[in-house]
Every structure is written in structure tokens, then in C-alpha cells.
Amino acid sequence: MKKGIAALALGTFGLGMTEYVMMSILPDLAHDFNVSISEAGHLISAYAIGVCVGAPLVAIFLRNWPLKRILLWLMVFYAIGNIMFASSQSFMFGMVGRFVSGLPHGAFFGAGSIVASRLMPDKQTTAVALMTLGMTVANLVGIPVGSFIANTFNWRWIFFFNAAWGAVTLLAIAVLIKDIGALPKTSIRGEFRFLKNAAPWLLILTTILCQAGAFSMYSYVSPIMKQAGLALEYMPILMIIVGAGMCLGNYYSGRVSDRITPEKTTLWVTVIMTVSLVLTAFDTFSIWTAGATVVIAATMLFALSSPMQLMLIENSPGGELMGGAMVQVAFNFGNALGAFIGGIPISSGHPASSSSAVGAIMAFLSIFVMWYFMRRYTKRPAAND
């Protein structure tokens, strides 16, 4: 791995840690802020809103800056947001800290993907996958490490650690990434002009549908596996395997994309995702088969990331910074949509596995959206050896 890519992966690890660690410490946050668990969940929403707001703000105000400088300042905001949240004494100030922490997320992926693809021009999707590897590793270790720190010390130390990680990442970017200049200068209107075309919207819709499909199941994975007969004490083991699958899915989808094109890779990801969700919905009588289909679906969850990141950049002429960030915006929207839709049949009295059936419908729709995009807009050579 090139040193510059490693520096970007440090950044995505920190962003992933800040996002995913909340799953393991919500009860602690609810206790300290004197709110209910559901209210504490708003801290997760505040981060997601920050992700959605930060991407267009960077595109508007920093679009003509050198890419390296953008990355450095995003890490500054990341560190500030984590310090704000770690030191917050009220729930409202904590909400603000989480919002500020989320602002750099999508923009970092947007700018970082462009930098990564320039650092490895012959293997662009692999480069983006290596950058995103930090996020998948954070998903693997963030929850258990967060639980350990919260139980041993205090949840605030997690976010002080994240702030320090941001400082280390800032230094790594400054030292390890060469100055590759800025994107061609554009006006604010030019930065968003690509959204007048249907192609990027089809890619965004594919991401939202596939991500929502996966999170319809993943949000309720514990009750699904309990329905299949898995004892609660074995769930951490399954989640470690799920995290490892996410890492492998992210890395190998990049490698495959560089060989058979990102479009074909994404189409296959949506197909495999749909099949695995269907099987999860209707085969919850065996721990082994249910566990296997859950792992496959989770693996496909991050396999979508790097090819979609590259395709959106390529289909955002004049607005590459915003285009690259839109993937993370779509991911966060899909996560929220999936958790909401997946909960509808469960709240209506159906078994937990019914959430996966709803997810399968969403993923199935993403196949047709991607197929239409390939028929209408793909002009790429057949393969890349």
C-alpha cells in the first residue's frame, strides 16, 4: 500500500470509529445525559445530519482549494467535534459536538477518493478500497474497543482518543501525501451542475436502495439470530465474523472492479445482496445457515463502497468533490431508511426475520436501477487487466 493511501485509511478509520462506536455506549450516554435510550439515539442522527450538511458546504466554500489542504482542514474539524462531544456537559451541547464531528465525514471520502485515484491511476478502484479499508476495520474493532474503554474508564475517553487520532492523521497526511494541486476551478453553480443529469441520481438511488436493504436486516440482526436459535453470548463472535466479511468485501470488490469494471461489480453486489437477504428472511431455522447469509449480506454492504465511489466521481464532471461525497450521504440516508422500514413489520407483530424480507425488496429494486444505468450510461471498456 502506498504511504499516501495509508494516511487516508487512518482518516477513514477515525471517521468510522466516531460513527460506529455509538452502538456500544448508548446506555452510558443516556445515563450521563439523563435522557432515555431513544433520545440518546438522536446523537447518532445528529452525526448523520452533519454528514449530509458537510458535503455541500465543502463543495461550496472549499471547492477551489488544493485537495491536500481540504483534507487537513477536515481533520481539524473532526478533532474539534470529538473534543466538543467528549467534554460536553449537556445533551444539547453533545448534539452540537456530534453534528460537528459528522461535518467532515462525507467530504473526506469525496476528496480522499480523488486523491487516492490519482495516487494509483492504474488501479483506481483498488486505491479507493484501500482508503475505505480504515472504515471497515473501525466497524470491526470500534464496538468492542469502545465497550472496553467505556467499561474500564469512561465513554468520554473514546472521543478524546478520536481527537488525538485526528491529530495523528493530520500529521500523516501532511507528511505522506504529496501536493497534487486542486481540481479545475468552478463556480458554485458548476460544482452542482452534474446533478442535472440522470446518471449520478441513478447511482445515488442504487446506493440508497442497496444500503437500505442491508440495514433493514443488519439493524435487527440480534433478534434475527435469536429467532434462529443463537444464544446471546455468541453474538459478539458473529459480529467479529461480520466485521471481517465487511473488510474482505470492501477490499476484493476494489480488486474485482479494476478487472471487470465497477459497473459489473456493483450489479453483482446487488444481486448477491438480494439473494442473501431472501435466504435470511426464510431460513431462520438453522443457526449456521442464518449466520452464513447474514455474513454474506454484510460483506456485500461494504463491497458496494469503492466501485460506487469511483463511478460517482466519474459521473460528476465539474463537481467531483461533491460527487465523491454523495456516496457517504447516500449511505447514511440508506442506513436510516433501512432501520425505519425494517422495523415496520416487526412492530406489526411479524417475526424479526421479516425485516430481511423488506430489505430484499429494496435490494431487488437496486438491481433494476443499476441495470438501467449500465444500459443507458456505461461507456467503459469491457475489462481492465
Q: What is the pLDDT of residues 314-352, one digit of tens each?
A: 888 888 888 888 888 888 888 778 878 888 888 888 888
Q: What's the pLDDT score for residue 379?
A: 63
Q: What's the pLDDT score for residue 38?
A: 67
What are the residue ranges in the chain where pLDDT is below 70? 1, 23-24, 38, 143, 284-285, 379-385
At 2-38, the pLDDT tens digits run 889 999 999 999 998 998 888 668 778 888 999 887 6
Q: What's the pLDDT score for residue 380?
A: 54
C-alpha cell at 268: 453483482
* pTM score, whole prediction: 0.80
Q: What's the pLDDT score for residue 323?
A: 83
